Structure 1
């Protein structure tokens, strides 16, 4: 057992960020096949095996450049489907592989088109409803896809709706559209005609915490996750005929999160609440027995990834946190739990560190649910605080309408292993903790949202977690913005920053969002600032780090995907140009084959090779040398290779 961070083994970058051995395991609806993602010639592809012979796996796809990251079975179990974009452009097309013949088909053969799954059925197994924006990039028209013939039939041409819902008969029942107040209107759809008036509506305050959660298979009940008239979102059942509603579940501290629903009837059998940790509660007694059985057999957290139609077999993912994640096959009838695979066996025996959920008070009285990971050997009494203050990385989540959660986190483990405390904070605007918490972030980019992060830093210093002069800020997307804000608005707080695909100019960010976000643009204007008003534009400019780039006095590392449709490359280019004009050093890494974040493991590993050496020079942790990490990647060092140890010497390849 290691006693200090200095003597703990360095976890290799590729053990955390390289390809998993296997991932995303599923079972076919009929229970005859297992499927998963695994490398083929170094790139993640889909593999299948008979359920009774898991070792007889074979690859059924041949992706060669970009990993396949998710897949799902057709309802009739005749094919496996997946979505894939080009170079991170998020124009996802749908592909299918026939299990019997091995033939692969592009089911949505269009350019610059993003597919949505509108509906699938437990009874009509040879068809699915899709949304396609090939006619107008702003709006997804609804089509019926025949899985046997591949034929697409137009069901409804979309004149301005953000989305649709169908029932188990693949009949469109509902259309959703943003209203003038920034909330959502819900319209009944009859015979593929949308009603003129909504049957339900939300105001802006409920827009991110209220949504329909689907119909039971017989269409008699519509479920909602609903915060109207309350703070945290409850699970509500609405009688489709009478409109009458009843509360199934609620929690004072957090919204109702996931549900388990009967694969055939669609009836909710269990629900989850995720405050500091994710907790499942069963409604159905038999489901309760199964969840209790899994809880008794597994350490840490678990989730049900896939189920057969007869609900006899579950694929269960287990996150023990301080061991590599494992996946099991649970036979409910036999009462057996059989190992399926361990995703990253290279992490067996590695000095993985526990994560501590903590609550941090903001200066104006909010509670910020947060997560802390400490370097190995720094906490000898196991109380969740280091024996003495250590360097720290404040790791900020994206969104910002998203959240950090409890569980294995490769970034936390990597940084802790290098000698840093790692703190992730659910600042105001984060989701999952009720609408009051989200709405407290409205129009607070660079203001109170940023204050929450600074309050967390002050907490870490005051609680003797962090060394005040050795605190870095790092994050992607909104977390990248927060990094830029940290170095410009509060230039003396952080020792350095790592910005991954973060916007620097909120005005240009809103001008370049993808066209299919147009039905939701009111939400951005209400929560960030409306560039069409004088006051809103001034607010956006004031919150944009670009205009304060000359205030940066600490080292900055930027990573950007050239094809990013959400945060365009220009966002990083702008601030790099501004810093160069002011004579401020910056290191800028561009990936020509990536989008909003880095999908290719080679690119992730390359960026972390740069980042860990950047951080080591800045706040004094350990680092695996850059070495040849950049050679398999597409990384282009646009600026500042000289600022990172070992980078200039290892360029090229």
Structure 2
């Protein structure tokens, strides 16, 4: 049964709806997602602002318009198990029934691309581990394997001539490294990047009607990502747009004329439209938060921006400290931005805490980027001297200056909230995100101690500091309590890893293949995996622990939560394990968040009072 926090301001924050943008058509209709019903479901927003719900599935879903038809390809799973299935939803009739397209609940079928009469998806049905890229003709049902060379393939782009394609796969040897393959006339994929150079490649798109060049976001040969051209005929690379101090990410329009560019600066962003041939600036986009950020806003591209097939519009998902999620539509010709769906955001009776950026020194001479949140109207001012450190997942994620409901709830309760980007985080160059790889894992954990030592400088009592984190952030919570038991007063672990060894042994096979490149392999690095596992030092944990997990989690098995909760409880330390049977890797359903989050607030309020 859903609980309340007992505080109307916090209850309102926890119930704020969120919107995301999935697609837009040439008429300006937007395919969006809204969680107002309790989980993320598809809604179509008409040009005049009218909203029509499209799905009412038991779990969250996403989708794309099928080019040339009034239809949507829907991607959905079962209770968070992440085994995506694909269905067709026709919008030109009264029925809202899903027609199965690609269904086999044993495997993953993730939508990669849509085109007139065709979809492209990635699937691990061949062996449960490797992902192939498959094109499906919707009229005949005929399928063609575009990339069948194995690996964890994430992205695909077909050239206008239909003969050439590129695929991007995760390297299984190097952390945070991708490989780009060229496929010609359905032949064997050919690697066209250096497999020994740590570099990311993503958002590939062919330029111009002849597809003479490929545009891709990459950090090959650079510290930060930029926009590069690749010419398949000569295999020559050249730079279109770069910045020596921050990451640039780009999404070209389907006609190859325009380029939407995001510059990422310490968790905030600037968006602009450029000429895709010359890089010349067309429009600097004014986002809703710009008035507060001098041109920078907290936009974060999850999911990625989407262009209409005719290149007239692009839609974005927008969130800042005061808005859980809005949908923006950009008129590419005019450079104007329209809010087409809004979460409503903060109000006078539910004010939000806004982030203040800091750099925290470490004993080895590094600087940890972090944000500090304090509520302008805390429910209990006596809690201001307490701190909750919220550690992001990944480990290669990035905490940005967007809306995090628990950060806001913690701050509204009265806690000082510290949100760090410890070493290993994206957004600060390839050197920073490589500083925790494999046998450097405990260097990242040491950053927690540096943050703890810094707390008195912002008026926090170091004896009243707790850790909160999900996924890899949950690992960091458990590692902080186990390796630094004298520092932390409490911990909240959500779907976290308690042992790097048992995690790798029991996670889904397709996940193990990728995560070993980050943590180390069971075959060659077992000693360091044991050394860096919180379960190895579980007898040292003295702080009360709250553990939350989803029974269907395919990434971090429930056994990770069960074993640490059992061990901590056996040592006489207060520990509560909360398991949701209809969740996977995190809490996707509002009813479960409204049950769990007030309990977390009560737990921290009790132990940090």
Q: TM-score range by the shorter chain?
A: 0.7 to 0.9
2:185 alignment partner in structure 1: 191
CA spacing shift, 1:225–1:579, aligned 2, 3 Å? same
What SS class does the counterpart of residue 469 from structure 2 fall into?
Answer: strand
Q: How does 1:563-602 map to 2 (within 5 A)?
A: 563-602=552-591
RMSD between aligned alpha carbons? 3.2
Per-residue CA deviation, residues 33-91 of structure 1 (Å, 9 max, x unaligned), is: 3333346865543232542x433x3322232x3233x3322222521222111121110
Deviation at 1:361, TM superposition (A): 2.1
How far apart, CA to CA, are the structure 2 residues paired with 1:179 and 1:336?
42
Deviation at 1:482, TM superposition (A): 0.8
Is 1:16 aligned to residue 9 of structure 2?
no
How far apart, CA to CA, are the structure 2 residues paired with 1:185 and 1:46?
33
2:261 alignment partner in structure 1: 270
User: Alignment partner for residue 466 of structure 2, among 459, 463, 472?
Assistant: 472
Gaps of 5+ in 1: 1-7, 379-385, 621-653
2:492 alignment partner in structure 1: 498
User: Alignment partner for residue 129 of structure 1, among 90, 110, 120?
Assistant: 120
Deviation at 1:250, TM superposition (A): 2.4
2:3 alignment partner in structure 1: none
Larger Rg: 1
1:167 alignment partner in structure 2: 158
1:433 alignment partner in structure 2: 428
1:410 alignment partner in structure 2: 405
| Number of residue pairs the alignment of both structures matches | 586
Q: Using structure 1 for the length normalisation, give the TM-score.
A: 0.81
CA spacing shift, 1:614–1:112, aligned 2, 3 Å? same
How far apart, CA to CA, are the structure 1 residues paired with 2:438 and 2:330?
47
What SS class does the counterpart of residue 398 from structure 1 fall into?
Answer: coil
What SS class does the counterpart of residue 358 from structure 2 fall into?
Answer: strand
1:639 alignment partner in structure 2: none
How far apart, CA to CA, are the structure 1 residues paired with 2:520 and 2:84?
30
- Assess if the C-alpha contact under 8 Å between 1:496 and 1:555 holds in 2: yes
CA spacing shift, 1:395–1:186, aligned 2, 3 Å? same
Q: Using structure 2 for the length normalisation, give the TM-score.
A: 0.87
How far apart, CA to CA, are the structure 1 residues paired with 2:455 and 2:66?
49
1:139 alignment partner in structure 2: 130
Per-residue CA deviation, residues 577-633 of structure 1 (Å, 9 max, x unaligned), is: 21233222211101111111011111111110110000110012xxxxxxxxxxxxx
How far apart, CA to CA, are the structure 2 residues paired with 1:330 and 1:226?
25
Q: How does 1:318-337 map to 2 (within 5 A)?
A: 318-319=318-319, 321-322=321-322, 326-331=326-331
2:369 alignment partner in structure 1: 369
Gaps of 5+ in 2: 1-5
How far apart, CA to CA, are the structure 2 residues paired with 1:77 and 1:594?
34
CA spacing shift, 1:266–1:488, aligned 2, 3 Å? farther
How far apart, CA to CA, are the structure 2 residues paired with 1:409 and 1:336?
27
What SS class does the counterpart of residue 191 from structure 2 fall into?
Answer: coil
What SS class does the counterpart of residue 206 from structure 1 fall into?
Answer: coil
Deviation at 1:12, TM superposition (A): 3.3
2:78 alignment partner in structure 1: 86
1:529 alignment partner in structure 2: 520
What SS class does the counterpart of residue 236 from structure 1 fall into?
Answer: strand
Is 1:357 aligned to residue 357 of structure 2?
yes
CA spacing shift, 1:274–1:93, aligned 2, 3 Å? farther
CA spacing shift, 1:576–1:442, aligned 2, 3 Å? same
Moved more, 102-111 or 598-607: 102-111
CA spacing shift, 1:62–1:283, aligned 2, 3 Å? closer
CA spacing shift, 1:309–1:156, aligned 2, 3 Å? closer
Moved more, 324-333 or 223-232: 324-333
Deviation at 1:440, TM superposition (A): 1.4
Per-residue CA deviation, residues 532-559 of structure 1 (Å, 9 max, x unaligned), is: 13xx212111111112111111110000
Deviation at 1:474, TM superposition (A): 0.5
Q: How does 1:54-133 map to 2 (within 5 A)?
A: 54-55=49-50, 57-63=51-57, 65-68=58-61, 70-101=62-93, 102=95, 103-121=97-115, 125-133=116-124
User: Alignment partner for residue 47 of structure 1, among 43, 50, 53?
Assistant: 43
Per-residue CA deviation, residues 396-431 of structure 1 (Å, 9 max, x unaligned), is: 001101111122222211110000111111111111
CA spacing shift, 1:612–1:231, aligned 2, 3 Å? same
Deviation at 1:471, TM superposition (A): 0.5
- Assess if the C-alpha contact under 8 Å between 1:487 and 1:494 holds in 2: yes
How far apart, CA to CA, are the structure 2 residues paired with 1:151 and 1:269?
34
- Assess if the C-alpha contact under 8 Å between 1:220 and 1:240 holds in 2: yes
Q: How does 1:268-307 map to 2 (within 5 A)?
A: 268-284=259-275, 288=281, 290-292=283-285, 294=287, 299=292, 301=297, 305-307=305-307
